[in-house]
């Protein structure tokens, strides 16, 4: 009897270890399968994340609309979302209605005049000191070949354009649903954590939400300042499509650094068709504005609201654009705000930093 009991006691730890190894192996397989599935649907996951993030940063605008009163009527959440969507769609329609017709007309004229216009542009380029001995014949031949095959390129890219349009529409729909039902989904996600962790996590997410909302307001103000000043300067320089280019300058400024560079490049190309003096005017204007924005506007508007260092913004922009292209660059700053708040709560040890500083001062 005692021998049987002793042998049973010896087998129990072995069985427990075997069961533990099995669970570890199954868990590893589960993680690998989850990572594989996440990689397969990474495009959709990025779309969901971007939509959720915009749902969060648009909440201050939504609350502002909900606080408006028309007589005794005050809009609810659904009416506020509808008003916001109508405002955005109406603004886009007005902009496209005013900007597209002259652009399409000039593009049609330029396509017909391209055989004479392109050599004129290259001739002007040769007048620059560093390009006077450059050979533009090969580039001219490639441009002519591209123009002749442009219809083919457009035809083969229809599928990509259709998918991009579908992603944009899906993102708008998801953003609306996140604004309507985001609180419910957030509360459900909190239930996945232990009770003792929920209050701390909820408080951390609330602080991140406030700072991300301030980022949208600060970025919107910077976009407005750049758009208005660009329109005034471009109109004074008599650059074509001054209104449309000014609006694009303001809109593209939502993507830090990269957005402004893309829009300035576009403006320079438009100005180069008419005059190198206008190109110089555009470059001088943007150089002055960049200095004012970096030294005065951004510290007062952005850093006081989101409290992010310039180095953190640049790193977030590089990582976001590398991981998800334009969409990643678009949400890089609010994501950096979210990561900064979480790290400050769970990783940074203020007491250790203060003690180290005191020790250094005493030395």
Residue with tokens 């409290």: 307
Instruction: Please name the residue ranges forming H helices in the chain.
Output: 2-40, 42-57, 59-66, 77-126, 137-148, 150-156, 158-190, 195-236, 242-252, 258-272, 276-292, 298, 304-306, 310-330, 332-346, 350-362
CA distance 123 to 121: 5
The candidate with the shortest Cα–Cα distance to 333, out of 261, 246, 259, is: 259
CA distance 63 to 214: 13
DSSP string, 2-71: HHHHHHHHHHHHHHHHHHHHHHHHHHHHHHHHHHHHHHHTHHHHHHHHHHHHHHHHTHHHHHHHHT--BT
Long-range interactions of 269-275: CB distance < 8 A, separation 24+ = 270/239, 270/240, 270/241, 270/245, 271/237, 271/239, 272/121, 272/124, 273/110, 273/117, 273/121, 273/240, 274/239, 274/240
CB 176 within 8 Å of CB 85: yes
254-304 tens-digit pLDDT: 776 677 788 888 888 888 777 778 888 999 998 898 888 777 777 677 666
Nearest 5°: the CA angle 71, 72, 73 is 95
The candidate with the shortest Cα–Cα distance to 335, out of 60, 52, 40, 61, is: 52
Per-residue pLDDT of the chain (363 residues; tens, 9 = 90+): 555 544 545 555 555 555 556 777 887 888 889 888 888 888 888 888 888 888 887 887 888 888 888 778 888 888 888 888 888 888 878 877 776 777 676 666 666 665 666 666 666 666 666 565 665 566 666 666 655 555 565 555 666 667 777 888 888 888 888 888 888 888 888 888 888 888 888 888 888 888 887 777 788 888 888 888 988 998 898 888 888 888 888 888 877 667 778 888 888 888 877 777 888 899 999 889 888 877 777 767 766 667 777 677 778 877 887 777 777 777 888 888 888 888 888 887 655 544 444 555 455
206-243 tens-digit pLDDT: 888 888 877 777 888 888 888 889 889 988 988 888 88
Residue with tokens 């087998």: 11
Reading the block at residue 267, the tokens are 């403006």
Q: Which residues of 33-63 are buried (b: 16+ CB within 10 A; e: fewer)?
A: eeeeeeeeeeeeebbebbbbbbbbbbbbbbe
CA distance 279 to 330: 28
CA 198 to the chain's CA centroid: 29
pTM: 0.66
Q: 238 vs 4, 120, 242, 278, CA distance in Å?
A: 100, 20, 7, 8
In this structure, what DSSP letter does residue 299 have? I
């Amino acid at each position: 009897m005692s021998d049987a009991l002793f042998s049973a006691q010896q087998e129990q730890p072995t069985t427990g270890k075997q069961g533990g190894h099995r669970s570890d192996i199954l868990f590893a397989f589960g993680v690998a399968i989850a990572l594989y599935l996440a990689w397969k649907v990474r495009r959709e996951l990025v779309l969901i994340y971007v939509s959720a993030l915009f749902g969060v940063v648009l909440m201050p605008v939504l609350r502002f609309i909900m606080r408006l009163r028309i007589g005794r009527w005050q809009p609810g959440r659904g009416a506020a979302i509808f008003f916001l969507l109508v405002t955005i769609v109406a603004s886009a329609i007005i902009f496209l209605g005013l900007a597209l017709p002259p652009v399409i007309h000039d593009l049609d004229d330029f396509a017909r005049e391209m055989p004479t216009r392109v050599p004129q542009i290259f001739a002007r380029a040769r007048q620059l000191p560093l390009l006077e001995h450059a050979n533009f014949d090969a580039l001219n031949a490639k441009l002519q070949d591209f123009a002749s095959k442009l219809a083919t390129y457009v035809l083969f890219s229809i599928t990509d354009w259709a998918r991009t349009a579908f992603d944009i529409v899906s993102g708008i729909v998801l953003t609306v649903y996140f604004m309507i039902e985001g609180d419910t989904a957030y509360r459900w996600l909190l239930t996945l954590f232990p009770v003792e962790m929920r209050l701390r996590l909820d408080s951390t997410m609330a602080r991140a939400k406030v700072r991300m909302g301030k980022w949208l307001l600060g970025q919107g103000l910077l976009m407005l300042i750049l758009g208005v000043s660009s329109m005034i300067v471009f109109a004074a320089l008599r650059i074509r499509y001054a209104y449309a280019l000014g609006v694009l300058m303001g809109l593209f400024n939502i993507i830090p650094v990269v957005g402004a560079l893309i829009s300035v490049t576009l403006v320079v190309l438009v100005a180069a068709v008419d005059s190198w003096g206008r190109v110089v005017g555009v470059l001088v204007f943007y150089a002055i504005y960049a200095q004012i924005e970096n030294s005065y506007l951004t510290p007062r508007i952005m850093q006081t609201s989101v409290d992010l260092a310039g180095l953190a913004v640049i790193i977030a922009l590089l990582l976001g654009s590398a991981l998800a292209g334009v969409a990643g660059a678009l949400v890089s700053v609010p994501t950096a705000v979210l990561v900064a708040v979480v790290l400050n709560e769970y990783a940074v040890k203020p007491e250790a930093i203060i003690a180290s500083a005191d020790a250094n001062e005493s030395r």
